Structure formats: C-alpha cells, structure tokens
Amino acid sequence: MGTSSSKTSFSPSCKLCEVRKASKPETSTWSCKECWILMCDSCKQNIHPETHTVTEIGKEDDDSVVILSVVNTYKTKSKNIMRMLCLPDDMIYYRHYNSQKSENSIVKAKISKSMKILQKVDIECTDLAISSTDDILFSPAQSPSDLKTFAKSGETKTLLDVSPMAILCIHVNKDNEKILVLVEQSDPYNQSIAVFGADYEKKVTIDNNSKIFNKIRRIVCDSKNQMYAIDEKADKDGNRRVVSFDMKGNTIFSYEGCQSIKTDLFAPTDIVVTAKDNIIIADMFINALHVLNTKGELIALQNTMEYGIEMPESLSFDKTGYLLIGCDTFEKLKDPFANIYMVKTSV
C-alpha cells in the first residue's frame, strides 16, 4: 500500500552548499533561471555569477510560478511512474518498469488522503489513455497492432486492429475520437497519425511525407483539437521537441526548450493540456515544468525542486483540477521508490 503526506511548503537545501560540501547546507531562498539551481543568500552573494538572473523562491509575482502548493504526496513501491491517468472516481492507473526485475506493470490505485493499491497487472505497453466510459485503452507489446481496453470489470478485449502498423501513442479527445500514432514494424519504421471515430472507423490520416515529425513519443489535443506531440529529434543526442499541428497536418509551432537555461539536453517525457488550453511539459532531467500557450510561447517555467519534486516524469489532471506529478528515481540509492505529488497550479 502507498502512503501519503500533506504538504503545503518545502524548504530545499542550497545546491551550492552541497557542491562545496558544507557541513550544514543552508536553506535555499533564490532560484537561478540560467544555471537552474537553488541557492542560499550567502552563496548568491559570494559564489554564484552576478550576471545570472535570479528570483526569490515563492515570490507571488514571479511569472515562473506554476505550482502554487503541494496538496499531497503519495509514496509508492515503484521505481518510476512512466505514465499516469486519473479517473473521475479517485482512481488512478500508472505504468512502471523495474529493470532489475524486468517487470512491466500497470498499477490501479485509489487516492484520497492516502493511496491504496487495488490491482497490479503485468502488461508491457508504451502508452495508456482513458475512453469516454472511463476504461483504460492500451496496446500491449506482445500484439502492438491491437488497441485493447482494460475495463473496470477486469475484462480485457480488443477494440481495433491496425495491422500491419504498430501503435506507439494513444489519446482520446473531447469528441471521443481515438488519436493513434502508428509506426511501420520494419525498416524504415515510418510514422503516421490516424484519427478514429467513436465507431472505430478511420476519419483522418496524417502521413509524414512532409516530415512534420520524426519519432513521436506522446500526443495530446486541446479543446479545439490542436495537437501537441513530444517528438524525438533526429540528432541522436537524446534531444526532443514539442511540435504542434492541426488535423490537416499543418505545423503551428515547434518548441525546443527554454534558451536561457544552460543545458545541452531537452528531453521532455510527458505533456498535458490545462482547462485554459495551456500546455504543461514535464522536463524530468532538469526538474522543470514548462508552460506554453497555443502559439508555442513560453508563459511560465517552474523549477520543481523548489517543492522537493525531483525528476517529474508523468502528468495527469484529476477531476477537481489538481495536477498529479509522477516521478522517477532513476533507480538511485538514496530513495529507491518514486513519489506522486498532487499540486495546485496557476495555469
């Protein structure tokens, strides 16, 4: 069973104190928007470059604020929360992988003040989605051409077969249309996007002849069916981007990370759309949440370590509008199990 704790504030330790191995690191009060670290007053004055832009942590008029407070923290027995979905009845489903045990599982849990694990199913898949009837949609690795449902009753059945293609990503929009990212199962492994109606008849196909994307890893839609995808770039350095396009395949924007942050890697792992049609991006490797508007303009950028949220990997909104953030541990020794945070957001 997972455990939880309510948490509305957090006092992160100074990263520069830790780097210089101070006997007792001070509490951070400042956040650098360029080297992306948290620091105390002393290190800001004496060590940190004066030319970098810093802001006071928790300052209300700071436009970088995305998280207003942490409402709850759920401690799991999983190494990572690679994908997460919230259902209206306080149920969540999440996918995790344990490389030490070669274990792929989908976990069903109920959350309130605490989290109770209800079921764990050994299914390997790349993505999950929620249907209009609150059933879980997935494509198992053993039969990647099949779109299946894992109903609340426990029954599993096949809804669609897209052979000879394989399903990589799944999203259900407000019209109950299923948006699938498909890939060829042999070289050159070309991708396409197919939109299926509620009757599972194909309505739209977006071929990638114009190379609007390379390798999509996640896809979502806003209220106007504008699509946003995490796309793996062709540079083979692990970099990704967020690309947006309409149902006709016309590119609207491409976002490749905040240029002011001194990092060589932008590799987002998840993306969600808010009720205001803003886009929140999980940037796990620098502990950040990027927020874009529908034009691709960066409107907020949050260092999640200000709230002790390390390696944010997956995102999902619950029925009340709280954002759940599932984390990764990278199987590090200091904390072998991943947390799920419920937060109140400003966007």
Query: With bands split at pLDDT 50, 70 and 90, how would you rate the model's confidence at 257?
Result: very high
pLDDT band at 29 (very low <50, low <70, confident <90, very high): confident
pLDDT at 333 over 90: no
Q: Does residue 6 register a pLDDT over 70?
A: no
Q: Please provide the average confidence, as pLDDT, over all residues in the chain.
A: 89
The pLDDT value recorded for residue 1 is 43
Q: Mean of the pLDDT values across residues 1-26?
A: 69
| C-alpha pair distances (Å), 281 with each of 55, 119, 212, 252, 302 | 21, 29, 20, 17, 10
User: What is the rounded average pLDDT of the residues 230-247?
Assistant: 91
Q: What is the mean pLDDT of residues 121-150?
A: 91
User: What domain range is 121 assigned to?
Assistant: 3-345
CA dist 217 and 127 (Å) reads 9
Q: How many domains does the chain have?
A: 1
Please, are residues 208 and 198 in contact by the beta-carbon 8 Å criterion? no
pLDDT of residue 95: 94
Look at residue 8 in the predicted model and tell me its pLDDT.
42
* More confidently predicted of 138 and 88: 138
Mean pLDDT of 224-233: 96
- Model confidence at 331, pLDDT cuts 50, 70, 90, reads low
Tokens of 263: 């990092």
The closest of 261, 282, 181, 186 to 227, measured between CA atoms, is 181
d(CA 218, CA 225): 15
Distance, in Å, from the CA atom of 334 to the CA atom of 343, rounded to the nearest integer, reads: 24
Which pLDDT score is estimated for 262?
74
Tokens of 191: 């991708």
What CATH number corresponds to the domain at position 26? 2.120.10.30
Between 174 and 57, the higher pLDDT residue: 174
Residue 99: pLDDT band (50, 70, 90) is: confident
| Confidence band of 4 (pLDDT split at 50, 70, 90) | very low
Cα gap 44→230, rounded to integer Å: 35
Does pLDDT of 129 surpass 90? Answer: yes
CA count, 13 A, side-chain hemisphere, 91: 15
CA distance 60 to 170: 37
- Look-up of token digits 């599982």: 105
What is the pLDDT, as a whole number, of residue 24? 82
Asked whether the predicted pLDDT for residue 186 surpasses 60, the reply is yes
Please calculate the CA angle 230-163-243 and round it to the nearest 5 degrees: 15
* Percent of the chain topping pLDDT 70: 92
- Out of 2-16, 32-46, 257-271, least confident range: 2-16
Lowest mean pLDDT among 10-24, 112-126, 176-190, 299-313: 10-24
- Rounded Cα distance, 298 and 224, in Å: 20
